[in-house]
Structure 1
Amino acid sequence: MPTGVAIRAVRVQLFDAADRVLLRAGPSALTSRAVTTEAGCAKGVLHRHFEDFDAFLAEFVLDRVDRMDSQAAALREAAGTGTVTDNLADALTALFGSVAVAIVALVTFRDELRARLRRTWPAGVPVLTEAVTMIASYLVAERELGRISPDAEVDALAPTLIGAAHLLFADRRGAPPTTEAVHKVVTTVVGGVVREPRP
C-alpha cells in the first residue's frame, strides 16, 4: 500500500502481520520491514504509530496477553462440565498452539523488549504469567465444585502445567504434540488431585 493512503485499524493490521511473521519465521525474522511488508504497507506507517520498533513489540505482546481474557473466561465457564483433564488439555493446546510460544521466544530474544515490558509487567514473561493465572482460576473453580481435592495446591499445579506444556510445544519447527501427549502431561500433573470418575 503506498505511503499516505489511510489504513483502517492500523494497529490490528500490524499486530496480525507480526503474528504471521513470528509464527512462520521466529523472533529473529521479526523486523519493522518484515512486519510492514507482511501488512502490505509502507515502513513509515509503523513509525508514525509507535515510538520505535521495541515500543511496537511491547504493545504487540500486551495486546496478545489481553486477548487471553476470553480464553480464561471460557475455561472458567467450563468448570463442572466435561472432565478436568480434557478441559485443561484443550486449554493448554489452544494457548500454546497459538502465537504464545513464539511470544515467549520473542521476549527472551530481545533485551530492550524485556526492559520495556518491565515498566508495566514487573515479573515473569507476560504470556506465561497470564496463563498461570488462567489455569489457577480454573483449578480453584473445580476445587470449589469438589472435582479436585480440597487440599490441591493450585499455586503449584498451575505453573507446573504451564511449564510442562510450554516445553511440550516449544519446538516450533517440529510437529505439534499429539492430543495423547498433552493429556499425558495433564494427567501426570493433576492425576493425584482429580476426584471425578476416570473415563
Structure 2
Amino acid sequence: MPTGVHIRDARQQLFDAAERVLVRDGAGALTSRAVTAEAGVAKGVLHRYFADFDAFLVELVHDRVARLDAQAAALRGRAGTDTVTGNLTGALIELFDPMAVAIVGLVIFRDELRTRLRAATPASGIPVLTEAGAMIAAYLADEREMGRIAVDADIESLALSLIGAGHLLFAGDSAAPAFAAVEQVVRTVMADVVQRRPL
C-alpha cells in the first residue's frame, strides 16, 4: 500500500487480519509481517499504532476479552429461563468459537505476551478462560439464587470444570464438537447440583 494513504480504522483492520491469520495458520505463523500482509497495508502501519508486536498482541487479547461482556450479559439474562443445562451448553458453544480457542493457544505459545498480560491485568489464569469462568460463575450464582441449582453448589468449582472441559472439547480437533457432545459434558458436570435443587 502506498504511504500517505489514509486507512479507515486501521487498528480494527489489523486486529481482523491477525484473527484471520491466527485461526487459519496458528500462533506460530502470527508475525507482524503476516498481519500487515493479510491486512493489505504497509509494514510500518502496525508500528504507527503500537510500540511493538507484543503490544499489538496484548491489545488483540484485550479486544477479545472485551467481547465477553456482551456474552456474559446475555447469559445472565437467560437465568431462570429454559434449562440450566441448555443455557450452559449454548454459552460454551458461543464462547469457544475458533478465535477464542486460538487466542488461548496464542497466550500459551508466546512467553512475552503472557508476561505483558500479567503486568497489565494481574488476574490469575489465562485471559479469555479466566473471564469466561467468571461469566459462568455469575450465571450459576443467579441460578442458585433462583433455586434452580442446589443452595450448597460450589459455583467456582463448577465454573472451572465447565470451562476446562469446554476448552478441551473445542481445542482438541479442527472440527467443533457436536451440540450433543457439549450438552453431555454440561449435564455430567451439573447433574448433582441440578438434581438436588430445592423443589
Q: What range describes the TM-score normalised by the shorter chain of this pair?
A: over 0.9
When the two chains are superposed, the root-mean-square deviation of aligned CA atoms in Å is 1.4
Distance 1:171 1:13 in 2: 29
Alignment-derived partner of residue 9 in structure 1: 9
Gaps spanning 5+ residues in structure 2: where? none
Distance 2:171 2:57 in 1: 20
Alignment-derived partner of residue 188 in structure 2: 188
Distance 2:68 2:2 in 1: 34
Moved more, 117-126 or 77-86: 117-126
Distance 1:100 1:121 in 2: 18
Alignment-derived partner of residue 157 in structure 1: 158
Is it true that 1:112 corresponds to 2:106 in the alignment?
A: no
Name the amino acid aligned to 1:126.
P
Alpha carbons 2:85, 2:186 under 8 Å: kept: yes
Residue aligned with 1:192, SS? helix
Gaps spanning 5+ residues in structure 1: where? none
Residue deviations 1:120-177 (CA, integer Å, cap 9, x gap): 22221111100000000000011111111111110110011000000001125x3211
Is it true that 1:145 corresponds to 2:146 in the alignment?
A: yes
Alignment-derived partner of residue 179 in structure 1: 179
Alpha carbons 1:22, 1:30 under 8 Å: kept: yes
- 1:196 positional shift: 9.6
Identity of aligned residues (%): 65
Name the amino acid aligned to 1:158.
A
Name the amino acid aligned to 1:24.
R
Alignment-derived partner of residue 39 in structure 1: 39
C-alpha spacing 1:111/1:144, structure 2 compared with 1 (3 Å): same
C-alpha spacing 1:70/1:98, structure 2 compared with 1 (3 Å): farther
Distance 1:196 1:45 in 2: 57
Alignment-derived partner of residue 130 in structure 2: 129
> TM-score, normalised to structure 2's length?
0.95
- 1:8 positional shift: 1.2
- 1:33 positional shift: 1.0
Name the amino acid aligned to 1:79.
A
Distance 2:92 2:2 in 1: 41
Alpha carbons 2:150, 2:196 under 8 Å: kept: no
> TM-score, normalised to structure 1's length?
0.95
Alignment-derived partner of residue 64 in structure 1: 64
Distance 1:176 1:53 in 2: 30
Alignment-derived partner of residue 21 in structure 1: 21
Alpha carbons 1:3, 1:41 under 8 Å: kept: no
Moved more, 118-127 or 67-76: 118-127
Alpha carbons 1:50, 1:56 under 8 Å: kept: yes
Distance 2:188 2:61 in 1: 31
Distance 2:3 2:185 in 1: 50
